Amino acid sequence: MPVNKKTNYGEINISTEAIANLTGGIVSEAYGIVGMASQNMLKDGFAELLGRDNYSKGVIVKNVEGGYEIDLYVVISSGVRISEVVSEVQKRVKYELSKHLEVDFKAVNIYVQGIKVTDK
């Protein structure tokens, strides 16, 4: 579902693909995040890590009363405090999307699809 804005000069439509790419870039730079994951788990229970071109499979934008909600599916690195990483990602995504798109996001829901053990 695209995000629509009306201005004095006309209407602006921002595609979910554009929001997904912006959000994916924000999330992938966050500490403790291995990458974006597909919302559909593979049959063995493993999460598919998405490349930069496929972020839209791990981001869902919903129009709700008074604004928008965004659902994110991620894979987190092992050895980090999940609640801290998720909380920081929520704050950062909400801030960055509000700043860049000038749209009010009521909620940023994060679904951890997996934890990846990284080699040291």
Domain boundaries, the chain: 3-116
- Does position 120 have pLDDT exceeding 80, yes or no? no
Task: Read off the pLDDT band of 108 (50, 70, 90).
Answer: very high
Q: Are 105 and 94 in contact (CB under 8 A)?
A: yes
Q: Rg of the chain over CA atoms, in angstroms?
A: 15
Q: What predicted TM-score, i.e. pTM, was given to this entire model? A: 0.81
Q: d(Cα 19, Cα 3) in Å, to the nearest integer?
A: 9
Give pLDDT tens digits for 27-49: 888 899 888 887 766 544 556 66
32: exposed, middle or buried (Cβ count in 10 Å: 0-12, 13-18, 19+): middle
pLDDT at 51: 66
Summary count for the chain: helices (H), strands (E): 2, 6
For 88, residues 6+ apart whose C-beta sits below 8 A from its C-beta are: 30, 31
pLDDT at 53: 64
Q: d(Cα 72, Cα 67) in Å, to the nearest integer?
A: 17
Q: The domain 3-116 belongs to what CATH superfamily?
A: Cation efflux protein, cytoplasmic domain (3.30.70.1350)
